[in-house]
Structure 1
Amino acid sequence: MSSFDRRTLLLMPLALAACGFEPVYAPGGSGSALFGRVAVSEPNTTDSFMLVQNLEQRLGRSAQSGDEFGLDVNVSTVTRAAAITTTNETNRYTIDGRANYTLRSNETGQVLASGTVTDFVGYSAAGSTVSTLADERAAKERLMVILSDQIVTRLYAAPGLSS
């Protein structure tokens, strides 16, 4: 016997509307309020370049003139040995990533959203030197995608960004 009730499904949009739920990509939502209007800080490392590239893909590349918002991003990574054999050889690594972000209004200078996102990825070091370096680069690319997705999700959820 199932406890599922169709009335619950029909009443869910009303409950979401009552709690202030607003679709991100709807007209006037935070997705349209930010798209193409955010100037992301210039990258200074390979990791920050990949992060900024992913942020610009998600938020739209700004025109640099008349941007409403500025997004300052600072990324750092730490590589750690994750699996060590009995002969003291490392055959797996993890990369811990941390990105601090601050979204400011260029008009007023007010901080609209800020925070820190963290995550990690792993890669194998059991192959040749070339394959290990390729795996490390691919892992860093995955990590920057993950961190940029988390930043964009938090920006979309920030209060007061609807147009």
Structure 2
Amino acid sequence: MRLLALGGAAALGACGFTPSYGPNGGASLLQNRLRVDDPLDRDAYLITQAIESKLGRGAVADFGLSIAIRTEETRMAVRADNITLRFNITGKATYALRDLATGAVLSTGTVENFTGYSATGSTVATLAASRDARERLMAILADMITAKLIAAAPTFAAPKAR
């Protein structure tokens, strides 16, 4: 079993595989070198907070990240008397990563996902469920953006000399 594990590790090393969170992996290339543009609303704040919790916030950043968020709430389960029992919130985030020294755009993309919530409780419970669903959606979109940036980082982010 140990021989099999060593053989697998050697094969991965030979193919040029670098773990994202390992030395010189995509995450380490972006760690504390990224500054997300200042958020203008709650959704932008939540997505910024989630990205910075994974990649840090560079005091002197090399990269700037702009994010445009669009959400839409849709009634999903509607009774015959037109009472909505469930809502879905779809979200789409378009991002652009820039080199702050040159202004060059290094990576762009769009991510989309959705969450839902029940509207069968009291007004307060429904408002809390809606707020929680938005928080979950922004966390999901932030995870998707972070994964794409980490995957692309080796193509544009040389290791920074410390």
Normalising by structure 1, we get a TM-score of 0.88
Segments of 5+ residues of structure 1 without an aligned counterpart are: none
CA contact (8 A) 1:30 1:162 kept: no
Q: State the 1:116 CA deviation.
A: 0.4
> What does 1:7-156 correspond to in 2, within 5 Å?
10-63=6-59, 66-156=60-150
Give CA deviations for 1:68-101 in whole Å, capped at 9, x if unaligned: 0001111111000011112111010000001111
User: Structure 1 stretch 52-61 or stretch 133-142: which is displaced more?
Assistant: 52-61
Q: State the 1:54 CA deviation.
A: 0.9
What one-letter code is carried by the residue in structure 2 that aligns with 1:112?
L
CA distance in 2, matches of 1:8, 1:113: 38
CA contact (8 A) 2:84 2:119 kept: yes
Distance 1:33 1:49, change over 3 A: same
Q: State the 1:47 CA deviation.
A: 0.8
User: Structure 1 stretch 6-15 or stretch 133-142: which is displaced more?
Assistant: 6-15
Q: State the 1:7 CA deviation.
A: 7.0
User: Aligned with 1:42: secondary structure?
Assistant: coil
Normalising by structure 2, we get a TM-score of 0.89
Q: State the 1:62 CA deviation.
A: 2.1
Query: Percent identity between the aligned chains?
Result: 45
CA distance in 2, matches of 1:112, 1:21: 22
Give CA deviations for 1:39-73 in whole Å, capped at 9, x if unaligned: 1011111111111111111110221xx31000111
User: Structure 1 stretch 5-14 or stretch 98-107: which is displaced more?
Assistant: 5-14
What one-letter code is carried by the residue in structure 2 that aligns with 1:16?
L
